[in-house]
């Protein structure tokens, strides 16, 4: 039996930055300050500079980053916000917590990203308060085209960058285009912590200040609550220090992910497997997804060869049980079709060339 190839391997990943991470953790432990301290401030500065934004505000996780970021843009109960339904329910979770209404937009089959023609029709109908653009699987959307639609209507665009750390178009990185953006630092992300973590980036000082208040109970000063909708959502010092230590490695990890994805797209030739095109720096290879009309048979074939796969994501938001009945009133044909046929192959920086070759060969011999 061949050695198993996992969909991800955090043990291998930990070893790639082990010295820097251990040093950062020890520094925090010796400091005696574990919440909203110097490492948190330093990471916020470093990550804002990396993203090309004026501000970064650390929060507890990526879903809080979406919710608090949207609240800081004025999204509230009853607001209508356009989003996609193929990205794991995370934005819908945030909108539900706010009391806002998701307005689902179909996706483009090739990119798996929001269909801009469909978005334009929804925007033209009016009565929309915001748009969440998810850079899914590591592919940065064409934000200039998005903003051309949203700016003309006066609707703020919010970027969900949970899977696109470091992706670039025209020299600008994900998180630096919209009115604000959210990031997740869940351990499997391109830039991952040793637990949960998140951040909001923005060029708007007032938006950044509102997020800072919302992440700590809504305080405008200690124990004085001036903003509704706040909670305890702070990026702790150990996670901030780990992220700060890992940040210099991010571009190199992204290049390796992109190299693996490029090999897959060029060398997988099975007629029953549809691969994404080769991308440049706009893609950071967070997940590599193929499409097959017989997904289960392909999964079984790969599993028999000790190659693990996953499905991102099998149930579109509008068909989740907690929104029972909604799916019958919404037509998202591409989203529904992809949910039945999409499959994720292993793609992470520590995969060896031999393992990549093995995945390619196994898919081609299916």
133 and 235 in a common domain: yes
Q: What is the dihedral of CA 186, 191, 194, 200, to 10 degrees?
A: -60
Q: Is residue 2 part of a domain?
A: no
Query: Is 257 domain-assigned?
Result: yes
Number of domains in the chain: 2
Based on the fold, state whether residues 312 and 291 are members of the same structural domain.
yes
The pair of structure tokens assigned to 206 is: 């007032």
Please tell me whether residue 58 adopts helix, strand or coil conformation.
strand
String of DSSP letters for 326-346: SGGG---HHHHHHHHHEEEEP
Judge whether 123 lies within some domain: yes
**Of the candidates 183, 216, 248, which is a domain's last residue?**
248
Supply the CATH number for residue 334's domain. Answer: 3.90.1150.10
pLDDT of residue 326: 73
- Is 1 domain-assigned? no
User: Is the same domain home to 31 and 91?
Assistant: yes
Do 21 and 127 belong to one domain? Answer: yes
Q: Provide the pLDDT for residue 83.
A: 98
Residue 217: which of 48, 60, 96, 100 has the closest Cα? 60
Across 187-252, where does the E strand assignment appear? 198-202, 219-221, 224-225
pLDDT (0 to 100) of residue 1:
59
Structure tokens at 62: 């990526």
CATH number (domain holding residue 27):
3.40.640.10
Tell me 319's DSSP state: G
230: its two tokens: 């706040």
Give the structural domain span for 44.
Answer: 10-248
225: β partners: 219
Query: Residue 330: what pLDDT?
Result: 87
Domain assignment present for 286: yes
Positions in the chain short of pLDDT 70: 1, 327-328
Classify residue 233: in a domain, yes or no. yes
Closest CA to 165 of 60, 248, 73, 275: 248
**pTM of this prediction?**
0.97
Residue where one domain finishes, among candidates 192, 215, 248: 248
Same domain for 259 and 203: no
- As to burial, measured by CB atoms within 10 angstroms (0-12 exposed, 13-18 middle, 19+ buried), residue 331 is exposed
Residue 325 has a pLDDT of 74
Residue with tokens 């909670």: 231
Residues 207 and 290 both lie in one domain: no
Domain boundary among 248, 267, 288: 248
Same domain, 308 and 200: no
- Say if 145 falls within a structural domain: yes
Q: DSSP letter for 4, please.
A: P
Q: Cα separation of 183 and 264, whole Å?
A: 27
């Amino acid at each position: 039996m061949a050695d198993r190839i996992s969909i991800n391997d955090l043990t291998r990943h930990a070893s790639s930055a082990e010295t820097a991470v251990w040093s950062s953790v020890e520094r925090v432990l010796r400091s005696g300050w574990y919440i909203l301290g110097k490492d948190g401030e330093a990471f916020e500065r470093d990550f804002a500079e990396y993203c090309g934004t004026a501000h970064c505000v650390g929060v507890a996780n990526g879903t809080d980053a979406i919710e608090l970021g949207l609240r800081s843009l004025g999204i509230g109960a009853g607001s209508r916000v356009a989003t996609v339904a193929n990205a794991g329910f995370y934005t819908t979770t945030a909108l539900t917590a706010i009391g806002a209404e998701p307005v689902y937009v179909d996706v483009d089959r090739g990119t798996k990203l929001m269909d801009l023609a469909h978005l334009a029709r929804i925007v033209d109908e009016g009565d929309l308060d915001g748009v969440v653009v998810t850079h899914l699987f590591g592919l940065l959307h064409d934000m200039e085209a998005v903003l051309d639609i949203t700016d003309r209507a006066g609707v703020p665009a919010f970027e969900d960058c949970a899977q696109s750390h470091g992706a670039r178009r025209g020299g600008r990185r994900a998180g630096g285009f919209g009115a604000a953006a959210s990031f997740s630092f869940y351990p499997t992300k391109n830039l991952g912590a040793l637990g949960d973590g998140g951040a909001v980036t923005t060029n708007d000082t007032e938006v950044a200040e509102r997020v800072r208040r919302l992440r700590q109970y809504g305080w405008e000063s200690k124990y004085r609550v001036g903003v509704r909708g706040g909670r305890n959502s702070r990026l702790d010092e150990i996670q901030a220090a780990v992220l700060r230590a890992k940040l210099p490695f991010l571009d190199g990890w992204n290049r390796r992910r992109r190299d693996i994805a490029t090999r897959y797209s060029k060398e997988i030739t099975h007629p029953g497997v549809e691969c994404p095109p080769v991308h440049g720096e706009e893609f950071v290879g967070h997940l590599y997804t193929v499409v097959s009309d017989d997904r289960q048979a392909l999964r079984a074939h790969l599993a028999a060869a000790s190659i693990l796969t996953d499905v991102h994501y099998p149930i579109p938001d509008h068909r989740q049980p907690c929104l029972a009945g909604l799916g019958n009133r919404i037509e998202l044909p591409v989203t529904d079709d992809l949910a039945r046929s999409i499959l994720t192959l292993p793609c992470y920086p520590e995969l060896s060339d031999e393992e990549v070759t093995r995945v390619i060969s196994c898919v081609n011999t299916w």
